[in-house]
Structure 1
């Protein structure tokens, strides 16, 4: 109700709860000691009562029929009357008398007022992914006082995955009275300017800037490019002159052209959580070689976990499933000295892949053969966790890497990257809880020749995990996004699954 009061301009009034909450102890005590009515209020009430109930007057002629005062109307009717008035009139009305002030605190009035003020823009509240070529993005649209603001969230500068997210406003809607509002574009360095929002359908909307000259800098394109490098990458032009310059120029061109024209957003949801999940699902920041840091959504689907790219790059675009973890196939890492040998890790992973291939062939044969028709695949035998051994999904969270490696419970298993495996971040954890077989998606520039290759998923703790890309001999470190996103929960598990299919189909 306090937010609604701010939206409707009632915040400064004497009866506003938001103002009462901001009072100090002395102010609160003084306010509480004030009488509920003042002389002017008593005069109004007395006059109203006299008009409504006086049977006669000073004149000798016939008296007019008694008139009904607003004060005598039932509270339910007064609620309906007050709810239809402009919000700017409500503060004055609250000062008329105690009864009016009490009625104006009715939640029914504020719910209706909120619906009027938010108008059709209430549909854009939530979490969104902008359609910016292969790069995607993360936008959270929230109500903030008299504004609806669209905040674009950006990962930290490479390779600091544990740093907090960066964010900046892209647009805002200034809420007005009588279902009206003004839209302002916030992109660029020259302040708010005229913009437009079109709601395409329930889960899709678009924005357009009407004054793109506000996006330009006085120093021209070169100054814009240098500023963009500092803000988006935290590096200067000279630092990265020899490192993917063509890609950066293309990225900047796509960003600028999109913000100068119409930009479309599609709704996304945070993944639902289940009691038997390995860790809490959510958004993570991850290193992707020279592409910098990207945002990945980790979600759990029975005996598998998936990492879906919310932001992408020219090789693997946003929306694609970058990693998939098979939670049935736990990998027991060797001791640290043996782990330094990349060939030893490669042998363990390829053994699991071969075992999976054989199981798939076996299951396929059982389904196709037999006089009795289709048969159920053979259930895997359970036993101690061995390289490639299956682990029931319900037991995944109970057994840690420390127990599998013979270490004391709670200590974790020592971990080190094998020699020859490249990593953007050398400050990775040196202990892990458990490891699983997984596959990672790789492709050429422009998402050409995509294929899934084997790798290792390493769970470090509740907020960090890693993935070793065997074919690329590369390591990606992921850290949980700690920001709180509003209006981002999926209405149902089915809605979340449908959302994943939709964002992946856009780039397939």
Structure 2
């Protein structure tokens, strides 16, 4: 039997029993007198039983297979814990097993833990950042993307298509393939990924450096690089925009390139906190700025005021500065469309509101409350407009504004006054409400900055506008629809402190 078991590999089989049946009485008696099995045969038969449970075969002995438990049957939260503890080198193969594993491996929890355990000092880089590129700023979103951490630079649409989605391109990525080390690659340029470096300066600040800047160069030299950059960033050729702002473009291009060729610093920014009584949901918006093209602005609410802070800027008003400020206490009731087409009429209304504010400020400085100001026969029409058609006060903040009934239907018809320039003629022809505001203007290099009066126009939940009276210019803003993770401020105080920090860098 032992020999038969070794030959069959699965112990006694039907063929063995048949040979036993063909034996004569003497052979059978001799066989019966031998021991049934020996230790070696028991070991082989035990192995055969195990094999039978796995695959079976023509010589398989009947047995009940043990119950099996598949990883796919485990809860996703348990799989997250298991995958997060595996070496980074195992994750690519694991992601190829099935769709469920690949989806779980995109879970932020796994990569946040990977950042802590593998990347060590890189654990703080997820979220939104503003690069320090002179006055131009920018918006960087660092996210987990598959088996990498990637820094995506978000760019406004091509001028003047403010409603188009944002453009984005990778600037760097971090490999999460090793257990105790990480590889940083620079993605800037046209020659593919190459060696880079990330240095964590402090919790809310880090810098990147390219170690192979020759990968940024093109065979055609600076001229080819410049033309390529114009096509990508502006969607236009050099000849198309030469007569408009050639000097500014050259300056911007070389500042932009030189920063990436050396070392670029990023500072963390937060999305503005939202409150139920906000006029609209705060957030990031794309806006038109004359010859400067489209820029990114952050709209936030601060009690009685709304503020637009530049995330990207230009040589006149740099990134970080407060571009517009809206006084939510002073709502402006625009005249009918025919009258609104007259710029002088709109200017008169706005300047009357500004005079009212000046008088209120004088009263406050003299120890009187602003609410004591009563309209009289000599009171300018601007105050009555600001207080509403029934003479009631506009309220003490955004909550009071929200309680005011909005115009029915699509709102009040709106048209730009004659003589007001706009990069985008496809603006909404109806608005919900308007408020008095001020806009920041300055000379080249942020010289002689001053705030001038204007009109904030709320079109809908995702679009607003601003008329700059002194410039006779109109800016249209459209909401950035992208979703940003790890970008919420830990507290309102942290958000306010962030605004002060980015503004102080360019003051």
Scaled by the length of structure 2, the TM-score of the pair is 0.74
Q: Residues 499 and 338 (structure 1 numbering): CA distance in 2 closer, same or farther, change over 3 Å?
A: same
Match of residue 365 from structure 1: none
Match of residue 412 from structure 1: 411
Gaps of 5+ in 2: none
Shift of 1:16: 44
Which string of whole-angstrom CA distances, capped at 9 and with x for unpartnered residues, describes residues 161-205 of structure 1?
Answer: 000000000000011222211000000111000000000000000
CA distance in 2, matches of 1:130, 1:121: 17
User: 213-222 or 86-95, which moves further after superposition?
Assistant: 86-95
Q: Residues 177 and 472 (structure 1 numbering): CA distance in 2 closer, same or farther, change over 3 Å?
A: same
Shift of 1:122: 2.0
Match of residue 374 from structure 1: 368
Alpha-carbon contact 1:127-1:140 (below 8 Å) kept:
yes
Q: Residues 338 and 117 (structure 1 numbering): CA distance in 2 closer, same or farther, change over 3 Å?
A: same
Alpha-carbon contact 1:4-1:113 (below 8 Å) kept:
no
Q: Residues 449 and 231 (structure 1 numbering): CA distance in 2 closer, same or farther, change over 3 Å?
A: same
Q: Residues 18 and 420 (structure 1 numbering): CA distance in 2 closer, same or farther, change over 3 Å?
A: farther
Alpha-carbon contact 1:412-1:432 (below 8 Å) kept:
yes
Alpha-carbon contact 1:52-1:66 (below 8 Å) kept:
no
User: 133-142 or 398-407, which moves further after superposition?
Assistant: 398-407
Scaled by the length of structure 1, the TM-score of the pair is 0.74
CA distance in 2, matches of 1:359, 1:89: 68
Q: CA RMSD in A?
A: 15.0
Q: Residues 393 and 175 (structure 1 numbering): CA distance in 2 closer, same or farther, change over 3 Å?
A: farther
Q: Residues 126 and 86 (structure 1 numbering): CA distance in 2 closer, same or farther, change over 3 Å?
A: closer
Alpha-carbon contact 1:8-1:113 (below 8 Å) kept:
no
Shift of 1:241: 1.2
Which protein shows a greater Rg? 2
Aligned residues: 494
Alpha-carbon contact 2:489-2:495 (below 8 Å) kept:
yes
Which string of whole-angstrom CA distances, capped at 9 and with x for unpartnered residues, describes residues 318-358 of structure 1?
Answer: 00000000000000000111111110000000000000000
Alpha-carbon contact 1:209-1:259 (below 8 Å) kept:
yes
Q: Residues 402 and 501 (structure 1 numbering): CA distance in 2 closer, same or farther, change over 3 Å?
A: closer
CA distance in 2, matches of 1:347, 1:20: 118
Q: Residues 44 and 375 (structure 1 numbering): CA distance in 2 closer, same or farther, change over 3 Å?
A: farther
3-state DSSP of counterpart to 1:15 = helix
Alpha-carbon contact 1:269-1:490 (below 8 Å) kept:
yes
Q: Residues 215 and 69 (structure 1 numbering): CA distance in 2 closer, same or farther, change over 3 Å?
A: closer
Gaps of 5+ in 1: 363-371
Q: Residues 462 and 218 (structure 1 numbering): CA distance in 2 closer, same or farther, change over 3 Å?
A: same
Q: Residues 184 and 108 (structure 1 numbering): CA distance in 2 closer, same or farther, change over 3 Å?
A: closer
Alpha-carbon contact 2:320-2:502 (below 8 Å) kept:
yes
3-state DSSP of counterpart to 1:389 = helix
CA distance in 2, matches of 1:269, 1:310: 11
Q: Residues 159 and 375 (structure 1 numbering): CA distance in 2 closer, same or farther, change over 3 Å?
A: closer
Shift of 1:486: 1.4
3-state DSSP of counterpart to 1:406 = helix
Alpha-carbon contact 1:197-1:205 (below 8 Å) kept:
yes
CA distance in 2, matches of 1:317, 1:242: 23
Alpha-carbon contact 1:7-1:145 (below 8 Å) kept:
no
3-state DSSP of counterpart to 1:254 = helix
CA distance in 2, matches of 1:138, 1:101: 29
User: 102-111 or 283-292, which moves further after superposition?
Assistant: 102-111
Alpha-carbon contact 1:8-1:177 (below 8 Å) kept:
no
Shift of 1:81: 12
Alpha-carbon contact 1:407-1:413 (below 8 Å) kept:
no
CA distance in 1, matches of 2:103, 2:159: 55
Match of residue 174 from structure 2: 173
Shift of 1:298: 0.3
Shift of 1:26: 58
Which string of whole-angstrom CA distances, capped at 9 and with x for unpartnered residues, describes residues 270-296 of structure 1?
Answer: 000001100000000000000000000
CA distance in 1, matches of 2:22, 2:311: 39
3-state DSSP of counterpart to 2:502 = helix
Consecutive aligned runs of 4 or more in structure 1 exceeding 3 Å deviation: 1-115, 372-376, 379-394, 397-408
User: 23-32 or 280-289, which moves further after superposition?
Assistant: 23-32
